[in-house]
Amino acid sequence: MELMNPYAIYLGIPLILLLGVLTFGFRKKFKDGRKVANSEFLEETKAFKRRLFEYRFCSVIVIVSLVLALSFLMFILARPFKSKQTITEEHNRDIFLCLDTSGSMFEVDLEVCEKLKDFVSGLHGERFGITIFNCQTVTLVPLTTDYDYIIDVLDQIEEACEVAINVFENGDYYDTEDYVKYQYIIDGTISYAYDAGSSLIGDGLASTVFQFPDVKDDDSRTRVIILATDNEVWGEPFVELSEAAELCVKYDIKVFGAAPEEVVDYDDYKRSVEMTGGKLFTLDSPTMSKDLIKEVEKTDTSVIYKSEVTITEYPEKLIVFFTICLCVHFIVSRRVKL
């Protein structure tokens, strides 16, 4: 047991002793009474002895209960507490999932999100974020350690991809509820301007680079981007994929690519990804997602051990004992009329 205010004990105990001396050391005898002659016969009666024993016994209880009440009060003022040290392991790594949400990428996005949920649930202190892009980039989740929220967003992306696959590939029709789910990965990523383009991969990757906090100044954290795209660009991007890859190299960000079986300009995509120290994986491998996640796990280069001290106070029992002692003191005091 530890005390937050130990001086309450150091001052309280001498004070209790001083009060005891002042109260019982200098009390006057025969206060509010008169001496009676020839009382020996009265003192020998059973009734007198019984009442005398009762008086002395109750007097002891009154004194003891008062001393205990004051002692418990001193301990309450001293604020006893327990401290517990917890050491948590935090991985010094930031990960962004960057998804191409154009019509040709729904199957890849679906598989990547499905496999990433197990990966996210096993993180310890890493920050994770999600961006989606088509002709514009939208940040769905900024870097966070709220893994439950990340998994919830991945679930919503999966639902949207499933709706899109059923509509565009299987010829199904969607109702209002399905349309709302589909819009989750569409809103903000497309523009209705005639020259807006589609799958502007370099823009999406470059935008994600600058979603990392202090990317220009802080090089202490490991940074990773999981880029899911088929490299099929329509229109004129502001930043080419190769330029975005050079930007990643500049800020020491590894990019791991996930793509369908059909990849436009595979060699260019592979070269850009490997330039950053990452790898490219495609759906023609049945273990694409597992292999990608294994490679991402290998990027963990540093671990921070964070020590936290939890302080718990427990005054409840002391307050109960203090209240009981006071009640006993006042009840018995009334009995002996002290």
The DSSP annotation for 198-242 comes to B--HHHHHHHHHTTSTTTTT--SSEEEEEEE-----BS--SS-HH
Has residue 225 got a pLDDT over 90? yes
Provide mean pLDDT across the span 13-39.
67
Instruction: Tell which wins on pLDDT, 63 or 37.
Output: 63
Provide mean pLDDT across the span 138-146.
92
- Residue 134: which of 154, 115, 106 has the closest Cα? 106
Task: Round to whole Å and give the CA distance between 235 and 196.
Answer: 7
Task: Round to whole Å and give the CA distance between 206 and 241.
Answer: 8
Average pLDDT, the chain: 82
What percentage of the chain carries pLDDT values higher than 70?
86
For strands 93-100 and 222-228, give the pairing.
parallel
Instruction: Calculate the alpha carbon distances from 143 to 6, 98, 118, 129, 250 in Å.
Output: 44, 12, 18, 4, 20
Task: Round to whole Å and give the CA distance between 226 and 293.
Answer: 9
User: Which residues is 97 bridged to in the sheet?
Assistant: 130, 226
- Residue 225: which of 243, 241, 247, 248 has the closest Cα? 248
Structural domains of the chain, with CATH: 2-24+39-79+315-336 (no CATH), 89-305 (3.40.50.410)
Number of CB atoms found within 10 A of residue 218's CB: 12
Task: Round to whole Å and give the CA distance between 1 and 137.
Answer: 56
Provide mean pLDDT across the span 131-145.
91
Has residue 81 got a pLDDT over 90? no
Instruction: Calculate the alpha carbon distances from 96 to 14, 24, 148, 204, 213 in Å.
Output: 64, 76, 16, 12, 12
Q: What is the pLDDT of residues 44-53, one digit of tens each?
A: 788 878 887 8
Number of CB atoms found within 10 A of residue 318's CB: 19
Q: In what order do the strands lie in the sheet containing 80-91?
A: 2-3, 80-91, 303-313
Alpha helices (H) in 79-122, listed in sequence order: 106-121
Has residue 28 got a pLDDT over 60? no
61: helix, strand or coil: helix
Has residue 240 got a pLDDT over 80? yes
What percentage of the chain carries pLDDT values higher than 90?
21
Please tell me the total number of residues recorded for the chain in this structure.
338
Number of CB atoms found within 10 A of residue 177's CB: 9
Q: What is the pLDDT of residues 159-174, one digit of tens each?
A: 988 888 887 766 556 6
Nearest 5°: CA angle at 286, between 281 and 292? 35
Q: Under a CB-based contact definition with an 8 Å cutoff, are residues 264 and 248 in contact?
A: no
Task: Round to whole Å and give the CA distance between 157 and 112.
Answer: 10
Is the whole-model pTM more than 0.75? no
